[in-house]
Amino acid sequence: MPVYALLTTYQALIRAAADTACTRPSLDMDRISFTVLQTTAADTVTTATGILPPAGPAELVGTIGRAVLDALHPARHRHRVKARTRKNPTSKYGPNAGQHPTTSQNYTIHTTVTFFEHGLSNRSRT
């Protein structure tokens, strides 16, 4: 059950980000920080402030959207300064060359599935 709660929360935060991005046509979703979404949502639920919209017409951007718009990522990503490396030569962990098999290995698994017609009996609670 906790996984469904996390997935539901994630979808709600992404929906809030999408609604916020719709208010500015030129806004790219990559500029929206998921950390800001998550932190603002947690603060809003914890403090119970800004949950109800003010009197008047409801607006698409709420407390979370306004916080996201105030903390957008830069429009252009900075370029990588250093090339990606596969293994740092000064690492204290030695390379693992030769420890992995060079060819694929095949395994055979035999399983048995048992179906109960009437289910399992309840355990006694004594």
Q: Are 64 and 37 in contact (CB under 8 A)?
A: yes
For 56-110, how does the pLDDT look when each residue is reduced to its tens digit (9 = 90+)? 565 667 788 888 888 888 877 767 666 666 666 666 666 655 566 667 777 888 9
Q: Residue 57: inside a domain, yes or no?
A: yes
Q: Give the total number of structural domains in the chain.
A: 1
pTM of structure: 0.53
Q: Residue 116: inside a domain, yes or no?
A: no
Q: Residue 61: inside a domain, yes or no?
A: yes
Q: Residue 31: inside a domain, yes or no?
A: yes
Q: Residue 45: inside a domain, yes or no?
A: yes
For 8-47, how does the pLDDT look when each residue is reduced to its tens digit (9 = 90+)? 989 999 998 888 888 888 888 888 889 999 998 888 888 8
Residues in the chain: 126
At residue 124, φ and ψ (nearest 5 deg) are -75, 145
Q: Residue 17: inside a domain, yes or no?
A: yes
Q: Residue 108: inside a domain, yes or no?
A: no
The range of the structural domain enclosing residue 36 comes to 2-70
